[in-house]
Amino acid sequence: MSLKRAFTAGCFVLFAGPALAQAPAPFPSKQLHFVVPFPAGGTLDVLARAVSSELGPALGQTIVVENRPGASGLLGAELVARAAPDGHTLVIVSNTLVTLPALRKDLPFDVLRDFAPVIELGSTPTVVTVHPSFAARDLETFIEVARKAPGGLSYNSPGIASPPHLAGELLARAAGIPLVHVSYRGTQPAVTDLLAGHIQVMMAPLNAVLPFIREKQLYPIAVTDAERTKYLPDVPTLREAGVTNMPPVTSWFAVLTTGGSPPAAISRLNAEISKILHDQKVDERLASQTFVIRGGSPEQLAARMRGDAATIAAIVAQARITAE
């Protein structure tokens, strides 16, 4: 090789080497882990498994769904917050995650910094639901009964600062009625006591009470979303029923990954999951969860998380809500 050619080849290696070293790694490059921070069988578990069963083949990698319950979802969430920031570890969450900073100052992670939004999967509304013995079947009568209730009308919810609890706080302020919150540790015991008549009113996730509404064991007064739900098309929204100064309240569900993960990985995940959400098989599989598909970009989910965190912090402060 001539001296000139050797010099040219050496320069190519010298300048190409750093560029090649900086090239992003292909995604995905290994097995993915999808963390469900609650026990198997719940809404988050059903959604995670419906998505992962289609996402694995789309990405050409296996996906392991891991149920990591504990500390009201904190254990599983922290696992993802502390994972390698490469997009290979996912977590499914509800909007309860963004309520945590308003309730706890000892969180092991920063909700808005340590997670990277991937995509909002969808939402399900809260329903103002009553026992058959309750003296109201519409919101106007409900408000009248609440105003006359000595000490305020009691209602239950699945837990402190859950979307149903916040819906009750917002309704009390918007309608100017005294509502007294009774917190339960989970949806099932709250619904059980409502069915037994131990308490007459519940702000309930729709999927938890729909079978009993259809059997006339419970009655819906209104839904808290901006629009009527296709699962109860005859039940009005709060706005339609006359409470026009209350924002919509839903339980939404989303996929996050570890903060600092590569934008290219997040973009690929978003694109593939978006396709899955519009697959008819998945839509049918999620029908039992009274699910409204949302989708959207990572940026839209990030904006929703920031907005909800600020709104919830204000409600918690005004209502003096404290963690259990």
Lookup result for tokens 């500390």? 71
Give the model's confidence band at 166: pLDDT under 50 very low, under 70 low, under 90 confident, else very high: very high
C-alpha pair distances (Å), 181 with each of 146, 160, 274: 13, 9, 37
Give the model's confidence band at 178: pLDDT under 50 very low, under 70 low, under 90 confident, else very high: very high
Q: How far apart are the first and last CA of the chain?
A: 77
Q: Which two tokens stand for residue 278?
A: 């519009």
Torsion of CA 309, 161, 211, 175, to 10 degrees: -90
CB 129 within 8 A of CB 213: yes
What is the average pLDDT value for the chain, to the nearest integer?
90
Q: What is the pTM of this model?
A: 0.86
Give the model's confidence band at 42: pLDDT under 50 very low, under 70 low, under 90 confident, else very high: confident
The three-class DSSP label of residue 216 is coil
Burial bucket for residue 215 (CB in 10 Å: 0-12, 13-18, 19+): exposed
Neighbouring C-alpha atoms within 13 Å toward the C-beta of 119 = 23
Q: What is the 3-state secondary structure (H, E, C) of 148-205?
A: HCCCCEEEEECCCCCHHHHHHHHHHHHHCCCEEEEECCCHHHHHHHHHCCCCCEEEEE
Task: Give the Cα separation of 38 and 166 in Å (integer).
Answer: 21
- pLDDT more than 90, % of the chain: 75
Q: What is the pLDDT of residues 279-295, one digit of tens each?
A: 888 888 777 678 888 89
Between 2-6, 127-131, 133-137, 174-178, the lowest mean confidence (pLDDT) is in: 2-6
The three-class DSSP label of residue 310 is helix
Q: Which two tokens stand for residue 105?
A: 């100052």
Q: Is the pLDDT score of 20 beyond 60?
A: no
Task: Give the Cα separation of 101 and 108 in Å (integer).
Answer: 11
DSSP state for residue 97 in the 8-state scheme? G
Please report the domains of the chain, with CATH numbers, ordered by start residue: 32-124+251-319 (3.40.190.150), 125-223 (3.40.190.10)
Q: What is the pLDDT of residues 188-202, one digit of tens each?
A: 999 999 999 999 999
Angle at 208 between CA 207 and CA 210, to 5 degrees: 65
Lookup result for tokens 């309704």? 171
Q: What is the pLDDT of residues 119-148, one digit of tens each?
A: 999 998 999 999 999 999 999 999 999 999
Q: What is the pLDDT of residues 218-235, one digit of tens each?
A: 999 999 999 999 999 999
- Which residues, 6 or more positions from 292, have their beta carbon under 8 angstroms from its beta carbon? 122, 123, 124, 125, 225, 229, 250
Task: Give the Cα separation of 258 and 109 in Å (integer).
Answer: 11
Among residues 309, 308, 312, 318, the alpha carbon closest in space to that of 172 is found at 318
- pLDDT more than 70, % of the chain: 92
How would you classify the pairing of strands 201-205 and 115-130? antiparallel
Q: Is the pLDDT score of 324 beyond 90?
A: no
Length of the chain, in residues: 324
